[in-house]
Amino acid sequence: MEAEKANGNREKKMSRKEMLEKKKLVEEIIKAASSEKDHLSCFPTFRQCHRNGLSVYLESGHGNNLSSQLKQYIQCLLKENMKGPYGSEWPAEEKVKRREMIAPEARYIFAYEIPTADARQMPAVRDKDRDTANRMDDKGPIIGFVHYRFLIEEEIPVLYVYELQLEQRVQGKGLGEYLMQLIELIGHKSKMGAVVLTVQKANILAMKFYTSKLRYKVSAISPSRVYPGLGLQTNYEILCKTFGHEAKAMLEGSGTNEEN
């Protein structure tokens, strides 16, 4: 009996040791991903996008290094795109988003429109100014951005998309899909287990974009699945796209709607 008890204690200690090692590994993965200065540097061919008559150049940014012009632009575009879906909750949500956007852990990809005729000349010009991503006076007009962070959800390292915002005039041209493809590549390269994001239920077009076009799933951590009885009362869903078996089990869970 004593021998069995001793073996049981060793197994528990071993399990705890493994858990601590796993936790440490996940934290190291998040730290490494967050410390990367420019995630676009690993995907140089993605810096330019030419789709449906739209030519775009991408640059990286950090929340604690935004110019006043970029801050103002982000605030205005968020209000324009999200005031409707949030409804009466927008004033309080806007304050939250203003704090989020300048946090040190906030990472950005900014999209600038470039004239089609100048597209071939852009790389030489942009390479020279790569470290001045917040200057807008020498660029074409900014037309959107992605705000993302590296977080831990259910013990899984994830790339969490806080915002994907595009000006209405460039929506529907494939830029959103292009940016999300890049985000998923960054997630893979950074050893994340999934890309996770939140969508307002009232934003029907965005919900359809993620679930139907990009094949994201309603996550097991989304309110509608955590609290099924209260699901209809919540105004948002958490969606995910997982990259491995463990992430799939933890973030998609059982009963995932495969038709989405």
Q: Given this model, what pLDDT does residue 200 score?
A: 95
Taking every pair of C-alpha atoms in the chain, what is the biggest distance, in angstroms?
82
Cβ neighbours, 10 Å, residue 84: 12
CA 85 and chain centroid, separation: 19
Task: Give the class (CATH, top level) of 36-252.
Answer: alpha beta
- Write the single-letter amino acid at 241: K
Residue that has been written with the tokens 């998609």 in this structure: 252
Q: Which pLDDT tens digits describe the chain residue by residue (260 residues)?
A: 555 554 555 555 558 888 899 999 999 999 999 999 999 999 999 999 999 999 999 999 999 999 999 999 999 999 999 999 999 999 999 999 999 999 999 999 999 998 765 544 444 334 443 333 334 445 789 999 999 999 999 999 999 999 999 999 999 999 999 999 999 999 999 999 999 999 999 999 999 999 999 999 999 999 999 988 765 678 999 999 999 999 999 999 864 444 44
SS (H, E, C) 146-186: EEEEEEEECCEEEEEEEEEEECHHHCCCCHHHHHHHHHHHH
pTM recorded for the entire structure: 0.85
Q: Given this model, what pLDDT does residue 138 score?
A: 57
Spans of all domains in the chain: 36-252
Task: Please enumerate in sequence order all residues whose Cβ is within 8 A of that of 109, keeping only pairs 6 or more positions apart, or say none.
Answer: 39, 40, 58, 59, 60, 61, 145, 146, 148, 179, 182, 183
